Amino acid sequence: MLVLALLAALQQPTPPPDSAQPRQAGSGLHGYIGYRAEPPADRSEYGMGMGFYSAAWSLIDRPLAHFQIGLASGWIVPDNRDNRDVPLAPEGTLARKWKERGPTWDSVFQTVEGGLGYWAGNRFRYGPPKFSMNATPQCYDYEVGSPGWSFFYDTEALPDDRLGIAQLSNRLLIPPDALPFAGNPAGQFLGYSYMALPFTDAVQSVDGKAPTGEHAWTCFLATANFKGPIAYYIPETWSKIADLFKYPFLHGRGLDSRRGLMGGGAMEINTVPQLVATAADGSRWSRIPPLRFPIDERGQAVLVQDVTYYSRKALHDAFLAWRRGGPAPSGAFDPAGAFVAKLSTNTPRFDQDDRPIEGVATTFDTKVFDDNTWGLVWKESDHAPRGEFPQYYRHEGERRIAVAPGDVPKETGLHGAQFALASPGEPFTSPASGAWTKPGAASGPLQVRLGDGSLVTYRWYRFVDQPSFVQYGWSAEKKAALQSFVERLHRAWPIDRDYMAPPTRGSLVELDPALLVKPPEGLEAGYVPIVTRQERAP
């Protein structure tokens, strides 16, 4: 989630002169609403997968410019607890500059993050949140967010040698601007898990080159209209940093080889605009956009449930036996390899203009409703209606005090002022050369319109011919074995079967139906739809 902060720094609007009344500025709200997940006693055994159900809802009622909040999500890093003092971030990487992360830089070496949310870099915002895969393979030098692009930093596809995600599903499009939902989600749950699966064998070190492990961290979704794996991070995505920086200490320390660690999660409130005004008496006031939460009749909002850690028994071992010629498993995660974590809550903290906000605690508090369910509970308060974050603040020196709307002088103009709305951005494009064209697509192009107002162009690629694999120059035998196995997977694993255990409570959110596609005749197994462009729909 650190990538959200980096994006925010680049996306802050330039405030107009103080004479504007009221004026819009950045830094309206920042903070974390988080939880902790108690891991099993043997964290190494249960480091082969992590997942949970996160509530999806429209936090805002209109798509706003300069707005970025991640809904409840998690953060996976490789387990390097055996290293106490040797840097994992090589000299020359971006993260190595963050001295506060030393001496090992283990928290910013490699991550799997992303999840549900709103990002300042979204080009096609439509009101509800979206879901995005995101990884930082190289100490935040770059991010991988979809089978072709980074995490909203650039509309041009990643260079061929930085592509890192392999599209696995032959039924679901993965656009670079993230996955939109159907309608207006109101607290339904999105389930997602990352499982370390052995699509290929580990590769040993040869001539001093970095070895590569077998862990292909595979994203499984659970929604009302799609269930199953959508894509995975190619293991070489994690191991190649050692060769690039000629740093043998990193051999075997990436997510391709190490088990994962995830200690909890949070909503990260990162980039929120504010309207600022001065009253006739010289007092200063500010307002942020309305932020609404999906509460029930008791004023409770369940944000996360069923946080689960997985061992090899959950799926890895059966998957490996299948790949080696055994029977096909159902794909459902075996409860014998699952550990449902007990949750606890962190104390939220918020600031505006880097100054602490006071008074929010009188509006709501975090709460664990039972051992595996976490969220918020609203109190009776004058600051905001139940289910809404306080909007108005009085400036008192180095503090920001939450106040009721009626406390704000009318002459400030804050009550009726409007925030700037987002407008569609530039298209996401892919090159007409390199890995995208050699060996190239088998069919297409085809187009679909999404509910976020975008037009997506995609082509069907043979699985091992998709752009992300071309950089590796694998042998014909290795490619043929992987292609054959994926063909079997496409035939055996449908999109209407439970892979994750169903949520303890509530219903599942629905993905935008336009994301769901069917392979053309003759390409039913072993071919995947790769998005090549996303632009504003005419």
* Beta carbons of 65 and 56 less than 8 angstroms apart: no
Backbone angles phi, psi at 33, to 5 degrees: -120, 105
Whole-number pLDDT of residue 153: 84
**Is the pTM higher than 0.85?**
yes
d(CA 389, CA 480): 54
d(CA 12, CA 5): 11
Q: How many domains does the chain have?
A: 1
Within a domain: 403: no
Within a domain: 236: yes
Within a domain: 46: yes
Whole-number pLDDT of residue 220: 98
Whole-number pLDDT of residue 384: 87
Question: Domain residues for 479?
Answer: 41-268+430-536
Whole-number pLDDT of residue 42: 78
Within a domain: 308: no
Within a domain: 2: no
Whole-number pLDDT of residue 11: 47
- How does pLDDT run along the chain (538 residues), one tens digit per residue? 444 444 444 444 444 344 448 999 999 999 999 999 998 887 778 999 999 999 999 999 899 999 999 999 999 999 999 999 999 999 999 999 999 999 999 999 999 998 999 998 899 999 999 999 999 999 999 999 999 999 888 999 999 999 999 999 999 999 999 999 999 999 999 999 999 999 999 999 999 999 999 999 999 999 999 999 999 999 999 999 999 999 999 999 999 999 999 988 999 999 999 999 999 999 999 999 999 999 999 999 999 999 999 999 999 999 999 999 999 999 999 999 999 999 999 989 999 999 999 999 889 999 999 889 999 999 988 888 899 999 999 999 999 999 999 999 999 999 999 999 999 999 999 999 999 999 999 998 999 999 999 999 999 999 999 999 999 999 999 999 999 999 999 999 999 999 999 999 999 999 999 999 999 999 999 999 999 999 999 9
Within a domain: 194: yes
Q: Which helix (H) or strand (E) holds 239?
A: helix 236-239
Q: Which helix (H) or strand (E) holds 316?
A: helix 316-323
Could you please report the per-residue DSSP string of 436-481? Answer: GTSS--SEEEEEEE-TTSEEEEEEEEEGGGSHHHHTT---HHHHHH
Within a domain: 374: no
* Beta carbons of 198 and 215 less than 8 angstroms apart: yes
Q: Which helix (H) or strand (E) holds 244?
A: helix 241-244
Within a domain: 467: yes
